[in-house]
Structure 1
C-alpha cells in the first residue's frame, strides 16, 4: 500500500496508509512509537483479520510525515492528529486502536482530549509496550550509578536534540543498529527487524526526537484511562523491556476493568516485531468481541 498525504488542521502533512476492504467489519488504527514510523506494524498487519480495514500513519516528525513547530510537537497534538485521521479515514463504524510505546500514550491522550469520540466509537484498545506515567527517569535497565549516569546522559541528549537544526541524525547506520539491538530488543531478534528499527530511527527529525522525549518524561495520563475502564482491552509488555517495564504495564492494567495483561518472556520493547503473532492475535480478539461487550454511557 502506498501512503496518502493528509494535512492536519495546523498544516502538518502526515503520511497515511489505508487498507480498503469491501463491507469492512470495522477499522483497526495502528499508532507507532517514538523514533519509529508506520513500518513498526509491518509484521502485524499481514496477520490481522481480512475482513477488517487497517489505517496506519507516520506521526508528525517521523518517517514520511512533516516536521512541526516546537509548540505543536506534543503528545496532546498527536492525540488531535489521531482524532483527525480517524475522522478522515474511518469516519464511521467500529474502531479498534492499537498503540505501541508513544503510540499507546497518544491513545491515552485521545481519551483525555476527545472522550466522546472514544466512548462512541472505540470498541477495543491494545496498549503495547507503553506506560501511563513515571517515565521521567529512564535508567535503561542499568543498576545503581550506571542507571543514574544513563538517565543524565539521556536527558542532556534530548535537550540538545531540540536545538538541532538538521533534518537527519548524524548517526552512522552501524551505531544505530548496535544501539537498537541492545536497547529495544530481547533475546535473538531477527536481523531484518533490527535493520528496520535502525532505519526508522535514522529517519526521525532530530528536533522532534528531542521534543517528544521531553513530552514522554512529563506524560501522566493515568486519570484518562477512566474513559477506557470498561472498554475491552489488552496490555502487552516484554519482560526484558528496558524502556517500559512490566511495572508500567501493570499500572495500566490496574486501571482497566475490561483489560487483560499479557507478558512476553524474553521479549524487549519491540513487541510488534518480536512477538508479531501474539500482538496480531490480541488485536484480532478485540476486533471480534461482540458489540454487546461495548461499554454503555
Structure 2
C-alpha cells in the first residue's frame, strides 16, 4: 500500500474512532474553546513595507522594519520567530514597541513570506547565518538586541557559536524565550501538526516517510482542523486563553507545509550547543519561559540560566509555550528591562 493510501486510511480510521466517542469529546472541547471571549485582538494586522534580504545561499528573506517616531536611542531590537510560525507571532511585542524603538521582524527561511531553502540547508546553523545576513543588511549601524522564541532562540544560540566576537560589540542584549540549547525531543513540537495517529513517538524515519507524502499529510491536517485546534490549545498554552489566540496559532501552524516541518526536524533533534552559550553572559541576557510549557519545558530555561553568567530568569507561572501571547504583559515588561539594560551597557562602551 502506498503512503498516500495509508494516510487516507488514517482519515478512515479517525472516523472509526469518532464513532467510539473521540469526535464527540473533540467537539465538546472545541465548544469550550469557542466560548472564551473578551479579546478582539486583530492578529496579523501589524505590518510595514517589506524588505528583502538575500541569505548567503541566495534564499530571499522577508523583513519588516518599524522605525521610531522620534530620534533617540540607536538601538535596534531584532525578533526571531519559532518553528512553523511567522513574524506575526510577535503581535503584542510589536504593538508595544511600535513608534518607540527601532524593531526588525523577519520570516525565517521556508516560513511565512520568505523563500524556500534547499532541504540540505534546513539547519539551525543556517538559520544563525540568516540572522547574520539580516543584521548586516538592515542594522549596519548601532547596537542590537536579539529576541528569539523557540526555534528562534536556538537560532540566536547558533548565531552566538558562529559569531562570538559580536557579543559586547554589535550585540548588546539577548532574550531567549521558551527555548533551549539542546536535549530537545522535537516530536513533541509536532503534535499539533501531524495526523493524530502519528503524533506520539515520532522518529526521524517516520517524519521522512510522511514528508514524501507531504501533500496528503497537509490534506489530512486540513480535514482535521477541529482536532488540531484542540491539540494546539492543549500544547501551545497553559491557561484558558481566548479562542482567537488558539485559532491564530493554529492558522500559522496549518499554513506551514509539512515538507518544511519535516525539513527542520533533524536539526532540532541534533541541536546541542549548551557549551557555546557562555558568551551570552558578556551582555544582558533574559531567559523567559512558562512553567507549564509542554514543548520546551522550563527545565531547559533553568539550564540556560545556569550556563549563562549574570543572566535573568523569568518564569511565567502557569503559562505554556506561546508565552509571548499568553503572558504578553509579563514578557513585555521583562523585555523593557532588558532593552533598558542593553541601552545603558551600549552607551557605557
Count of aligned residue pairs for this structure pair: 290
Contact 1:168–1:202 at 8 Å: present in 2 too? no
Residues in 2 aligned to 1:219 and 1:87: alpha-carbon distance in whole angstroms: 25
Q: Which moved more, 1:243-252 or 1:116-125?
A: 116-125
Residues in 1 aligned to 2:137 and 2:105: alpha-carbon distance in whole angstroms: 12
Larger helix percent:
2
Q: Which has the larger radius of gyration?
A: 2
Residues in 2 aligned to 1:154 and 1:216: alpha-carbon distance in whole angstroms: 12
Please point out which of 39, 55, 71 is paired with 1:23.
71
The Cα offsets for residues 14-62 of structure 1, whole Å up to 9 and x where unpaired, read as: 1111012253521110000001010110111111374310101111111
What is aligned with 2:331? 279
Tell me by how many angstroms 1:192 deviates: 1.2
What is aligned with 1:60? 109
What is aligned with 2:297? 245
Contact 2:54–2:133 at 8 Å: present in 1 too? no
Please point out which of 266, 279, 282 is paired with 1:227.
279
1:235 aligns to what SS in structure 2? strand
What is aligned with 2:56? 9
Residues in 2 aligned to 1:163 and 1:154: alpha-carbon distance in whole angstroms: 15
Residues in 1 aligned to 2:231 and 2:58: alpha-carbon distance in whole angstroms: 34
Q: What runs of 5+ residues in structure 2 fail to find an aligned partner? A: 1-47, 190-197
Q: TM-score, normalised by structure 1?
A: 0.89
1:263 aligns to what SS in structure 2? strand
Residues in 2 aligned to 1:123 and 1:216: alpha-carbon distance in whole angstroms: 27
Tell me by how many angstroms 1:92 deviates: 1.2
Residues in 2 aligned to 1:66 and 1:163: alpha-carbon distance in whole angstroms: 20
Matched, 1:85 2:137: no
1:254 aligns to what SS in structure 2? helix
What is aligned with 2:30? none
Contact 2:178–2:301 at 8 Å: present in 1 too? yes
Residues in 2 aligned to 1:51 and 1:139: alpha-carbon distance in whole angstroms: 37
- CA distance 1:162–1:227, change in 2 (3 Å): farther
Return structure 1 stretches of 4+ with deviation > 4 angstroms. 137-140, 154-157, 164-168
Q: TM-score, normalised by structure 2?
A: 0.77
Residues in 2 aligned to 1:204 and 1:10: alpha-carbon distance in whole angstroms: 21
Tell me by how many angstroms 1:222 deviates: 0.6
Please point out which of 260, 264, 277 is paired with 1:212.
264
- CA distance 1:259–1:2, change in 2 (3 Å): same
1:46 aligns to what SS in structure 2? helix
Contact 1:158–1:214 at 8 Å: present in 2 too? no
TM alignment of 1:1-297, pairs within 5 A: 1-21=48-68, 22-25=70-73, 26-48=75-97, 50-136=99-185, 151-153=200-202, 155=204, 157-164=206-213, 166=215, 169-170=218-219, 171-172=221-222, 173-289=225-341, 293=345
Contact 2:283–2:342 at 8 Å: present in 1 too? no
- CA distance 1:109–1:290, change in 2 (3 Å): closer
Residues in 1 aligned to 2:343 and 2:99: alpha-carbon distance in whole angstroms: 19
Name the Cα RMSD after superposition.
Answer: 2.5
